[in-house]
Amino acid sequence: MKAGAFRVECEQIDIFDRPQEAGRVFGGVEIDRFVPHREVTGPETNVADAGKAGRRHSPCPLRRLVEPIRKDDDTLARPALTASADATPLYTERRRRSVGWRSKDVLRTAALVMAMYIGVRLLWFANPLFLTAFLGVLFGLAVSSGVDRLARWRIPRGAGAALIVLMFIGALAGFGAWVAPTIRAQSVELRRRLPESIDRLEAWANRHNGGIIGSILTPAAPAARRDSAQTTSASRSATGAGPPSPDDTTRATPLRQRISEQMSGATRYLFPFLSSTFAVIGGILIIIFLSIYIGADPELYHRGLMQLFPRRARRRAGEVLSAMATVLRRWLLTQLIAMLVIGSVTTIVLLLLGVKAAFALGILAGLLEFIPTVGPILSALPAIAMGFLDSPEKALYVAFAFWGIQFAENHLLIPLLMKGGVDAPPVLTILSQALMALLFGFLGLMCAVPLLAAAMVAVKMLYVEAVVGERVAVTNENPAKDAAPA
């Protein structure tokens, strides 16, 4: 043990002693040599000479055992004291901790529990508003990135944020006006021909009834069709009517009826907000204004969030929030580019295959690309059904085309775009989407993946690094830098 390095129970010590008192034990510290002034400022530190006798510090258990030195004494230049490594503590004072709950502790805990309960109930009751606000924050982070670039040209942040949002809305409106006639005509054709394609799909499945596809699609179709045909034939024979027409036999097939029931139930469950036009318009306006205000001054809201944390935790909280903002901004940019690319490629492929309503199906595929994993499946189903209008082989080609597009997206486009983002595991992505869709409907399905990305950042930085002590890469960009300890 080095001279002057020892552990004490107090924070600061003054020792003024005479040489003849060397060797005595004061408060568990054996004095070997004399020091005119000693100051210990930590639990384990070295002796520091302040150079001035008579300096006063906070109360210490050693103070009352030491006689102060006089100013006219000539022993200030004598050798320093050291602490023996095997010194045995003889005197310690520890502040006794109170045991049990005090009234203010009980009140504080009760208030915290009540606040958490009210917050959860409010979140559950107004979940469409909170999820819409989250989408507004998500788009606001992307707008703030563009505003930072416009600020280099000395454009005010407020004007830059409004300009970016208005340009985006104008681009969408212009594109919609350009393709609106084609989309309207193809949408009408899609609604008219889709039931026919479902009937053809069922007929093809009935012809292959012994296979797996027939058992999955129409497990009870043959019996139901025979019963329906016998009942219809008997009723027409009794009334003297002629044989049933093809339109009557294909008007409500079991497969189409089941799909209609499932889709109607899913529509009522996933799209409850579409029941009110004002709710849709209000949600869009909330997203627009939140995007403008957050993009104009994100630091204002960042400082407001920092005030909710204690001072000792603000630095770490700021790092976590900054990492979340970076990940969410990168994710949104990735999804927007993927939507544009997938929509364009799908439209071109469907046109090459000769599928009817190719523009409408391609735009639908681009819009549903915002929902990872689930969106591509939902967009492929109507395209495959439209392929059955011509032949089952064309439907098979359409299915392979969608599979190839998704394979190229997942292995080429997304890894390139997600550099610097969070690569969420597929199992977590699917489970989070299923849970959010089950709890909050379509809005929850839209917000599931960005919420999962933000939660993964918080878990990695606040638990894996801080508690477990393991170095992890928060994002895919520069893992060595992300893995550095905070």
Tens digit of each residue's pLDDT (9 = 90 or more) over 152-176: 888 898 899 999 999 988 888 887 7
**Per-residue confidence band for 143, with pLDDT thresholds at 50, 70 and 90:** very high
Which residues, 6 or more positions from 26, have their beta carbon under 8 angstroms from its beta carbon?
A: 15, 62, 65, 66, 91
Predicted local confidence at residue 37, as pLDDT:
42
Q: What is the pLDDT of residue 251?
A: 46
Whether 8 contacts 29, CB under 8 Å: yes
Q: What is the pLDDT of residue 81?
A: 46
pLDDT band at 139 (very low <50, low <70, confident <90, very high): very high
Alpha-carbon gap, residue 298 to 177, rounded angstroms = 33
Predicted pLDDT at 262 = 52
Supply the pLDDT for residue 284: 86
**pLDDT value at 189 more than 60:** yes
Percent of the residues in the chain that have a pLDDT greater than 90, as a whole number? 13
Mean of pLDDT over the chain: 71
pLDDT at position 6, please? 40
408: its two tokens: 């190229």
pLDDT for 122 beyond 70: yes
Spatial CB neighbours of 291, under 8 Å, sequence gap ≥ 6? 136, 139, 140, 142, 143, 161, 165
Where are the domains positioned within the chain? 1-96, 157-226+254-468
d(CA 301, CA 293) in angstroms, rounded, equals 10
- Lowest mean pLDDT: which of 276-280, 290-294, 314-318, 399-403? 276-280
Which of 121 and 373 is assigned the larger pLDDT? 121
Q: How confident is the model at residue 471 (pLDDT cuts 50, 70, 90)?
A: confident
What pLDDT is recorded for position 97?
A: 52
Please tell me which residue, 280 or 452, carries the higher pLDDT value. Answer: 452
pLDDT in tens, 304-355: 889 988 888 899 999 999 999 988 988 888 888 889 999 999 999 999 988 8
In the numeric block, the tokens 């000769």 are attached to 354
What long-range pairs does 42-49 form, CB within 8 A, spacing at least 24?
A: 42/11, 43/7, 43/8, 44/5, 44/6, 44/7, 45/5, 46/2, 46/4, 46/5, 47/3, 47/4, 47/5, 47/80, 47/81, 49/80
Phi, psi of 376 (to 5 degrees): -60, -35
Given this model, what pLDDT does residue 224 score?
47
Check residue 278 and give its pLDDT.
73
- Confidence (pLDDT) at 22: 43
Task: Give the pLDDT score at 240.
Answer: 52
pLDDT classification of 294: cutoffs 50, 70, 90: very high
